[in-house]
Structure 1
């Protein structure tokens, strides 16, 4: 081996070593998930995972713990056809494609640039043998492959890949949050509709009872046994209850329409059969506050967005340093197409370039400041999302605790109101009191029965909202859960039905 060859080999090794060292340099901060203070337990008392609690709530179909086949069917339809879910799926595909785009910058770009031309040059053209050459006409056929490659000396591309991967993970979590929101909306509207069914059944029974009472009073008036005032009082209450029932019918139809929209359907031809039963809600274990950071998809999405914003600081900082690139081509060139593939007609070129910023008017610094500010925004947004999650869980735990007490108290009030109605009707029939006492007792009974149905429905709705606040199900989650850190290099069948009079 000659001295020239040794020197050339040493230079190549040194250049390779320098490129490797530069490639290992990554500017910008390495991401670390910020610590969030969590309480050891929720403020509101709740049921821990036990034999009585539904602790094995499925990740993909949490609503099955309510043991309602109609709800199960509605949820399955929504999962297949809801437009918000379809939009979120498309956004996941979009972010996945952008992540692949970022990955592609880690590889060289190779392309083909063939061309063919025919040229005639003048005899007395410049530099043609001191003007004594001849005019010429020739063909030029090029078959080259081009190459361009940016050396990731400062980690700009690696930070871009990290940012794109984190955004892809955030989109995955956003999709899960949309699915959870849609399924919770279906369940809330469904149990609101069931609550309306129970209230309508109470109104129907009340209207029937008041209609019978009105007929009795009117007959008594026709025989001169009571005054017209009693008739008008009975008629007024009857019409008032009918009006309230009509308003509930509007509410039921609107709930059906809302559910149809969530299922990706038009309201025409969509109906849910009436069912006045309001079952007791399942018991949901809240767990400990720290579990929210893993369960709630909106928290995961916010944390991944924060990781992406952190990587963007490195992308912005890399602009301070020179951009190193390799360009080259290799192929064939010939004036004779028949000899284009001859070895003597091969051509090749390889070059390296450096572009370094000297004066940018503060543009690079402004972009770095912008990236840092965006990261701080994402940190505050993450903290806000966590605090909101804690609040929502505490709200529903408090609601369920007091709704259980309220349901017991309202059931007692209904029993007392029913006794009051019976006593007042007996006293009226005995001629001891006016019909106004009966009207007052009927109105009191109706109000308390309506309240009891509302409380039973609200317990079911609050349970659904609690499941959503806890992040949906937590058993059987997909194995590829989002990492918390970004690598620096890469039911009880009790029935509360409308009470018979």
Structure 2
């Protein structure tokens, strides 16, 4: 930490710089180093998450140090989202896949309940005549459950089958509503990601122009400082603005990449179909 400030400390000892200027230089250096350490900590956490995601061994996760050499060009030009992506891509989403399976199960359960609601009795007997069971039921003189209570209760199950059909219908409707809501939510996420992608590209272009102008400002300020036209604090303020602009540009570049990830997540796994999929 003392090495970058050695020149200023030497000039301070020689009486060329006041102590206030030296302390401000040291404070700026300490602030920049603090930002660097925070970035290194975030990098370490990202490496750990990536190691777990790709299935590294516990030893490798504890060791850390994810190999570098990434494509730096991705920061300036994230992957382009192709045109005419079909809407049925969202069927791969885990939430829609689960609800679609539940909807099929609820549909088959409803059909089974509807088939089970009819009395289970034989309608015809020998030679196509009316069966004995049906004849006994139709010949009951009263339905007050006095004489034919056993037969009627057995056939109609005291309304339990009818209630089971209603419950199956309600369950099927509930799952269908959840499925439709999940589909609408997926389209909303896709739309939001596409809008955010366009806005993030505009933010990055604006920050890129800002950094370009700040670089020029720093070039001018550093030369003027060396020539003695401006003071050290003015030069430091210009360099501080440049550093802040570069950090903002890095955040904008990260935002562009995050938007592509959001879009892939909204689709349920990117825009490329797996081999053998419909």
Q: How high is the TM-score relative to the length of structure 1?
A: 0.44
Q: Are 1:393 and 1:470, in contact at CA under 8 Å, matched by a contact in 2?
A: yes
Deviation digits for residues 13-62 of structure 1 (CA, Å, limit 9, x no counterpart):
xxxxxxxxxxxxxxxxxxxxxxxxxxxxxxxxxxxxxxxxxxxxxxxxxx
Q: Distance in 1 between matches of 2:69 and 2:272?
A: 30
The correspondence of residues 165-184 of structure 1 with structure 2, limited to 5 A, is none
- Cα distance in 1, alignment partners of residues 164 and 36 from structure 2: 62
1:299 correspondence with 2:96? yes
Q: Contact 1:284/1:467 (CA < 8 Å) preserved in 2?
A: no
**Counterpart secondary structure, 1:357:** helix
**Equivalents in 2 of 1:324, 1:271: separation in Å?**
74
Shift of 1:422: 2.3
CA contact (8 A) 2:8 2:22 kept: yes
| Aligned alpha-carbon RMSD (Å) | 3.0
More contact order relative to length (CA 8 Å, sep ≥ 6): 1
| CA distance in structure 2 between the partners assigned to 1:295 and 1:371 by the alignment | 27
Query: Residue in 2 aligned with 1:234?
Result: 25
* Structure 2 unaligned spans of 5+: 123-150
Structure 1 residues 439 and 283, CA gap change in structure 2 (3 angstroms): same
- 1:256–1:362 CA distance, 2 compared to 1 (3 A): farther
The answer to whether the Cα contact below 8 Å between 1:309 and 1:375 also exists between their aligned partners in 2 is yes
Flag the structure with higher strand content: 1
With the length of structure 2 as denominator, give the TM-score of the two structures: 0.75
Q: Would you tell me which structure has more helix in proportion to its own residues?
A: 2
Q: Which residue, out of 272, 279, 288, partners 2:66?
A: 272
Q: Compute the displacement of 1:466 (Å).
A: 1.7
Is residue 175 of structure 2 the alignment partner of residue 384 of structure 1? no
Question: Offset of 1:289 from its aligned partner?
Answer: 6.3
Q: Map 1:327-366 onto structure 2 (within 5 A).
A: 357-358=154-155, 360=157, 362-366=159-163
Q: Contact 1:278/1:456 (CA < 8 Å) preserved in 2? A: no
Deviation, 1:413, is: 1.0
Q: Would the alpha carbon gap of residues 357 and 260 (structure 1) be closer, same or farther in structure 2, given more than 3 Å must change? A: farther
Trace 1:447-458 onto structure 2 (pairs within 5 A).
Answer: 447-458=244-255
Q: 2:44 aligns with which of 233, 253, 260?
A: 253
On the 8 A contact 1:292/1:389 being kept in 2, the answer is no
Structure 1 residue 218, shift from structure 2 partner: 1.6
CA contact (8 A) 1:309 1:374 kept: yes
Mapped partners of 2:73, 2:153: distance in 1:
72
Deviations 1:128-183 (A, max 9, x none): xxxxxxxxxxxxxxxxxxxxxxxxxxxxxxxxxxxxxxxxxxxxxxxxxxxxxxxx
> In structure 2, the residue corresponding to 1:271 is in which secondary structure?
coil
What is the distance in 1 between the residues matched to 2:112 and 2:234?
79
3-state secondary structure, aligned to 1:216: helix
Measured after TM superposition, the shift of residue 226 of structure 1 is 1.4
CA contact (8 A) 2:117 2:165 kept: no
Alignment of 1:35-434 (within 5 A): 212=4, 214-264=5-55, 265-266=57-58, 267-275=61-69, 277-279=72-74, 280-287=77-84, 290-292=87-89, 294=91, 296=93, 298-323=95-120, 357-358=154-155, 360=157, 362-434=159-231
